[in-house]
Amino acid sequence: MSTTPTASSQGDAPPVRRDRTHYLYIAVIAAVVLGAVVGLVFPDFAVGLKWIGTTFVALIKMMIQPVIFCTLVLGVGSVRSAASVGKVGGLALAYFLTMSTVALAIGMLVGNLLDPGKGLHLSEETAGIGQEQAAEGHGSTTEFITGIVPDSLLSSLTSGEVLQTLLVALLVGFALQAMGRSGEPILKGIGHVQRLVFRVLAMIMWAAPVGAFAAIAAVVGETGVDALKSLFTIMVAFYITCFVFVFGVLGAILKVATGVNIFSLLKYLGREFLLIVSTSSSESALPRLIAKMNHAGVDKTTVGVVVPTGYSFNLDGTAIYLTMASIFIADALDKPLSIGEQVSLLLFMVIASKGAAGVTGAGLATLAGGLSSHRPELLDGVGLIVGIDRFMSEARAVTNFAGNSVATILVGHWTGTMDRDKLDRVLAGNDPFDESTMVDDDHGAPPAEREPASAH
C-alpha cells in the first residue's frame, strides 16, 4: 500500500495564517519616535496635527460601548444563576476599594517624603489655567448616580457613558437569563454582532501609526523641552511610584494569590500598553483587553463585569496622581496640607473621578475641582502641572490598565471562572491571540452561540 499521506492527515487542518499585525505595532513605535522629533523641530506644524490623534482616539471610543454590551450580555445571559454574577461584581468592587486605598497611601507616602513642590513660583498666566480647569471639575455624587441611568434603552449604546452601557447590558443579560431556552436565538444573534464589532475594531487599528504620530507630535510641539525641566522631579517620582505599585504591590498579590508572573501577563498585553502610551488613554485599549482576557481563559461573565467596572472604579494610577499632585501644589504654594486634610481631600477626589479613568485630561479637571471645593486657595497651583499632565496621564492610564488586567485574573481565580490551563498556554505563547478577529468563536461561549466544528 502506498504510504502517501491521506487527505485526512494533512488536508483537514486549516492553513495557518501569518500574523502580519506585528508590523503594525513596529510602525506604531516608529511613529511615536518620529512624532516626538517632529514636535521638537517643527512645533507649530506639529500642534496643527492634534486633530488627527483626537480623531483616532474617537474611532476607538466609538467601539467601546458595543464591545461592552455584547460581551456582558453574552456572559450574563448564558449563566444559569444570577447569584454568580452578583458574586463576581461584589468581589470585584471590594478588591477595587482595597487597592484604591493602598494606592492613596503609597502616593501620600512618596509625596510627603519628596516634597517636590518646594521652591517653585507661579505666574499670573499659570494661575489662570487653574481657574479654567476648576470649571470642568465640579460634579456632585448625586449627579454621578443619576447619570448612570440613560435616557432610553438604546441611548445607552450611543451616550458615551460606559456605566450606562454596563447597567443596560446587565438588565438585558438578566432578562435573557430568565427567558431560558427561548432567549438562546437572541444570544446567538448578539454573538454574531460581537464578531462584527471586533472585525471593525481590527480594521480601525491599522490607523494606529497615524494616530500615534499625530498625538505625540502635537504634545511635544505644545510643551517643548524647557517647559518640563522644572517639573522633572515630580514626573519622575510619579513614574517610579507607579512602577513600584504595579510590579511591587500588584505583582506580589498576583503571584501569591494565583502563581501567575506579572511580567508574563504584561508581556501578553504589550501591544495594548503601546497603544495606551501613544494615545494617553486607557480606554483606547479597553475593547482589546476584553478580547484578550476572554482568550486567556477568563469566563466571559467575569470579564464582562470586572473590566468595564474596573475602568470606572479601579483607578490606582489616578489615585496616586491625585495624591502626589495635591501635595506638590500645596508645597509649591507654601501652604502644606495636614495628613487629615490630605485624606479627606483625596477621598473626595477619588470618588469624584469615577467614570473618567480613560478620558485624557479628566485627572486634571478632577484635581482642580477637588481643590476648589476643599482648599480654594490652592486652586491657582493647578497651572503648575498643566505642562506635564499629558505625560503623567500616560502613567496614570498604564497603571489603571495594569490594575484592571490583574484584577480580572484575580477575580477569575477567586470565583473559579478561569481556565488555568488555558491561561498558562496563552502566557507561555503556545496559544497566540488572533489579531484578525479578536474573538474566540468557541471559548466561553454559551451553547446557543457555539457552532459545529464543520462550520469553521
In the predicted model, is pLDDT for residue 372 greater than 50? yes
Residue of higher predicted confidence among 20 and 432: 432
pLDDT at 391: 67
In the predicted model, is pLDDT for residue 380 greater than 70? no
pLDDT at 360: 46
206-215 average pLDDT score:
82
| Rounded Cα–Cα distance for residues 367 and 348 (Å) | 10
| Rounded Cα–Cα distance for residues 49 and 33 (Å) | 15
For residue 352, count CB atoms less than 10 angstroms from its CB and return exposed for 0-12, middle for 13-18, buried for 19 or more.
buried
User: What's 5's DSSP letter?
Assistant: P
CATH code of the domain covering residue 114? 1.10.3860.10
Task: Indicate the pLDDT class of residue 228, thresholds 50, 70 and 90.
Answer: very low
In the predicted model, is pLDDT for residue 84 greater than 50? yes
195-217 average pLDDT score:
82
| Rounded Cα–Cα distance for residues 313 and 311 (Å) | 6
Q: Is residue 179 part of a domain?
A: yes
Residue of higher predicted confidence among 160 and 12: 160
Q: Which residues pair with 298 in a beta bridge?
A: 418
| Rounded Cα–Cα distance for residues 406 and 251 (Å) | 8
Q: Whole domain around residue 105: which residue ranges?
A: 20-445
pLDDT at 59: 81
- Residue 159 CA, chain-centre distance (Å), reads 19
Helices (H), ranges, 78-181: 82-114, 124-136, 141-146, 162-179
Place of cell 503609597: 106
Residue of higher predicted confidence among 333 and 188: 188
Q: Which residues pair with 418 in a beta bridge?
A: 298
Place of cell 444559569: 80
Task: Indicate the pLDDT class of residue 249, thresholds 50, 70 and 90.
Answer: very high
Q: Is residue 256 part of a domain?
A: yes
Helices (H), ranges, 250-383: 251-258, 262-268, 270-279, 286-295, 300-313, 316-332, 339-352, 362-374
In the predicted model, is pLDDT for residue 269 greater than 80? yes
Nearest Cα neighbor of 78 from 164, 157, 174, 168 is 174
pLDDT at 354: 54
Nearest Cα neighbor of 101 from 226, 239, 245 is 245
Q: Is residue 10 part of a domain?
A: no
Q: Is residue 1 part of a domain?
A: no
Place of cell 511580567: 263
Nearest Cα neighbor of 68 from 146, 147, 142, 159 is 159
Nearest Cα neighbor of 397 from 336, 451, 328, 320 is 320
- Retrieve residue 129's grid coordinates: 489655567
pLDDT at 445: 42
Task: Please tell me whether residue 298 adopts helix, strand or coil conformation.
Answer: strand
In the predicted model, is pLDDT for residue 16 greater than 70? no
pLDDT at 203: 84
Residue of higher predicted confidence among 374 and 209: 209
Residue of higher predicted confidence among 361 and 454: 361
Residue of higher predicted confidence among 431 and 440: 431
In the predicted model, is pLDDT for residue 134 greater than 60? no
On whether the CB atoms of residues 392 and 400 are closer than 8 A, the answer is no
pLDDT at 423: 92
Q: Is residue 262 part of a domain?
A: yes
DSSP string covering 52-82, please? HHHHHHHHHHHHHHHHHHHHHHHHHHT-S-H
| Rounded Cα–Cα distance for residues 233 and 243 (Å) | 15
- Retrieve residue 404's grid coordinates: 484592571
pLDDT at 406: 94
pLDDT at 387: 54
Q: Is residue 7 part of a domain?
A: no
pLDDT at 2: 43
Helices vs strands, H then E, count in the chain: 22, 0
pLDDT at 413: 92
Task: Indicate the pLDDT class of residue 390, thresholds 50, 70 and 90.
Answer: low
Against a cut of 0.75, is the pTM above it? Answer: no
Distances (CA, A) of 326 to 330, 398, 420: 6, 21, 42
428-454 average pLDDT score:
57
pLDDT at 86: 76
Q: Is residue 274 part of a domain?
A: yes
Distances (CA, A) of 168 to 156, 175, 182, 345, 436: 7, 10, 20, 33, 29
pLDDT at 5: 47
In the predicted model, is pLDDT for residue 82 greater than 90? no
In the predicted model, is pLDDT for residue 193 greater than 80? yes
Q: How many domains does the chain have?
A: 1
- Retrieve residue 348's grid coordinates: 473626595
Place of cell 488555568: 420
> Which of 253-267, 328-342, 371-385 is modeled with the greatest confidence?
253-267
For residue 241, count CB atoms less than 10 angstroms from its CB and return exposed for 0-12, middle for 13-18, buried for 19 or more.
buried
Q: Is residue 456 part of a domain?
A: no
pLDDT at 454: 34
In the predicted model, is pLDDT for residue 235 greater than 80? no
pLDDT at 7: 44
- CB burial string 101-112: b at 16+ within 10 A, e below: ebbbebbbebbb
| Rounded Cα–Cα distance for residues 271 and 438 (Å) | 13
In the predicted model, is pLDDT for residue 319 greater than 70? yes
Residue of higher predicted confidence among 216 and 188: 188
390-404 average pLDDT score:
83
- Retrieve residue 122's grid coordinates: 507661579
User: What's 437's DSSP letter?
Assistant: T
Task: Indicate the pLDDT class of residue 264, thresholds 50, 70 and 90.
Answer: very high
